Amino acid sequence: MATQNKYERKVTIVGCGFAAVALGISLKRAGLNNFIILERSNEIGGVWRENTYPGAACDVPSRLYSFSFEQEYPWSLRYAPQKEIFEYLKHCINKYSLAPHIQLKKEVAEATYNESSASWSLTTTDRETINTDIFVSAVGLFNNPAIPKIPGRSGFKGTQFHSARWDHGIDLKGKRIASIGTGASAIQYVPEISQVAKKLDIYQRTPQHIFAKGDRANSPQSHRTTTWEKILQRHERLSLFARFEKNSRRRSSEALTRKSAEAFEKYIRSLIKDTDLLQKVLPDYPPGCKRGLRSDEWYPTLLKPNVNLIHTPIKEITATGILAEDGQQHDVDVIIYGTGFTPTAFLTPMLITGANGEKLNETWREGAEAYLGISVAGFPNFFMMYGPNTNLSGSIIYMLENQARYIAKCIKLLERKKARAMHVKEDIQKQFNDELKAQLSKTVLVHENCRSYFQAENGRITTNWPGLMLNYRWRTRRVRKLDYIFN
């Protein structure tokens, strides 16, 4: 039976990356200490544990890609490398005493709401049952690698792996390598492996807008900072915040989009003089349509004599390499899939069943949607971190902090109302998502030449927030009781 005494409701969080850490800290600050965090792996970290490819780093400056309340951290670079971000997460877990709440090697396969007890039953892959009053998904969007269904993959005699499952046991020095994809991961590892590869073929489906990163080393810093250093840190964070908010506004402004496109073309023409290569790397869609990328090494790498950018589609993978649709066979020793993840397949592979036996994957068959990306009608006492339409051009850490505070407030509200369960009203959820669709329809995300991972198969944008980070902060500043059903 679910506990109902004050501050004793059990909260179970699935996943242990930035989202779970943000929520764990918010719960503790709210006096809610009866929670556990389930992590499927044998270590915490989420995407920053799994992505260990050469050159892995964040494309949002560290000062912004960090918790607002945990800024005194000695980042070595303006854009933190993967290892430092992973260590930062561990630092936060230790500082805020979250370790006792974390259970490793606990992968949730199913979650079912029990109406009689107003609680959830979670079943792990090893068939353990965990009963909880509140169920929170904190699994993120970038946790399931996407590998394209290319004919002949199983017959390749060499080594092949996804960038998020990097095979560090393979020495790439002197190897002939094929890298499929030119997204956020590829633009980081390709420059690194080009330094050791005998030959590197890069298969590009769509050119990207990749602006200069301008990375630099930070001044040496300890965990103890002076008052002046704290002032400078806050100023830098505020400046970065304002810059990213401006980038977000660009998506719905024709004038700003045009200005950005002109700046990009000028930038790219200053780097690349080869006419054929220039045609391959110039996108036919406006900046902001896809995820904005930053790199100082990508375009110089394409000019190297051992690097070949191939824009011809792949016909099949053969035993010795890749056969392009133009009939050319490119023999390689290693194939690396820099093909991203499945962000629109929210919460997979968990099977979630709400009130009246409603299946979440059926509810979302036309595309995932929620209220504030946090609550779903018909699924009481279920909340999400990094849910539908909460991704953005900015810091997802900032968004997660807002979500964490909101969820903690929901749980406290349940206590004050002495209710067993709460879930958002269906008409409130519909009204909210109609508003999102209307806003998104005015952005470059729906440009006729745009096709990105932001969109579900039916073209619906289910991942991205259409407004500013401050807009989201305002919407989640408090829990509107009239938006929810309590019982």
Distance (Å, rounded) from C-alpha 125 to C-alpha 349? 11
In the predicted model, is pLDDT for residue 1 greater than 60? no
CATH classification of 153-209+265-337, choosing from 3.40.50.300, 3.50.50.60, 2.30.40.10, 2.130.10.10?
3.50.50.60
CATH classification of 11-144+342-486, choosing from 3.40.50.720, 3.50.50.60, 3.40.50.300, 3.30.2010.10?
3.50.50.60
Supply the pLDDT for residue 479.
98
pLDDT, one tens digit per residue, over 263-282 is 999 999 999 999 999 999 99
Supply the pLDDT for residue 248.
82
| Residue 249 CA, distance from chain mean position | 21
**Given this chain, do its domains 11-144+342-486 and 153-209+265-337 carry the same CATH topology?**
yes
Above pLDDT 70, what percent of the chain? Answer: 97
| Residue 126 CA, distance from chain mean position | 27
457: confidence class by pLDDT, cuts 50, 70, 90 = confident
> How confident is the model over 214-232, as a mean pLDDT?
71
DSSP string, 377-410: TT-TTEEESS-TT-B-SS-HHHHHHHHHHHHHHH
User: Which residue has tokens 């050469």?
Assistant: 54
217: confidence class by pLDDT, cuts 50, 70, 90 = confident
Does residue 462 contact residue 369 with C-beta atoms inside 8 Å? Answer: yes
Supply the pLDDT for residue 225.
67
Distance (Å, rounded) from C-alpha 76 to C-alpha 392? 25
pLDDT, one tens digit per residue, over 397-420 is 999 999 999 999 999 999 999 999
> How confident is the model over 174-183, as a mean pLDDT?
96
In the predicted model, is pLDDT for residue 53 greater than 80? yes
In the predicted model, is pLDDT for residue 223 greater than 70? no
18-29 and 396-417 helices, crossing angle to 10°? 40
Q: Cα-flanking dihedrals φ and ψ of residue 45, to 5°?
A: 125, -25
CA distances from 122 to 41, 101, 108 (A): 17, 17, 7
Supply the pLDDT for residue 432.
98
Is the overall model pTM greater than 0.85, yes or no?
yes
SS3 468: coil
Supply the pLDDT for residue 3.
43
Bridge partners of 162, per DSSP, are: 337
Query: CB-based burial of residue 461 (10 Å sphere; 0-12 exposed, 13-18 middle, 19+ buried)?
Result: buried
Query: CB-based burial of residue 342 (10 Å sphere; 0-12 exposed, 13-18 middle, 19+ buried)?
Result: middle
In the predicted model, is pLDDT for residue 284 greater than 80? yes
Supply the pLDDT for residue 224.
57
User: Domain spans of the chain?
Assistant: 11-144+342-486, 153-209+265-337
pLDDT, one tens digit per residue, over 104-157 is 999 999 999 999 999 999 999 999 999 999 999 999 877 788 899 999 999 999
In the predicted model, is pLDDT for residue 7 greater than 90? no
> How confident is the model over 174-195, as a mean pLDDT?
97
Among 214, 288, 213, which Cα is nearest to 442's? 288
> How confident is the model over 155-163, as a mean pLDDT?
97
In the predicted model, is pLDDT for residue 2 greater than 60? no
In the predicted model, is pLDDT for residue 57 greater than 50? yes
DSSP string, 435-465: HHHHHHTTSGGG-TT---TTB-TTS-B-SB-
344: confidence class by pLDDT, cuts 50, 70, 90 = low
Token pair of 428, please? 């409130």
In the predicted model, is pLDDT for residue 4 greater than 60? no
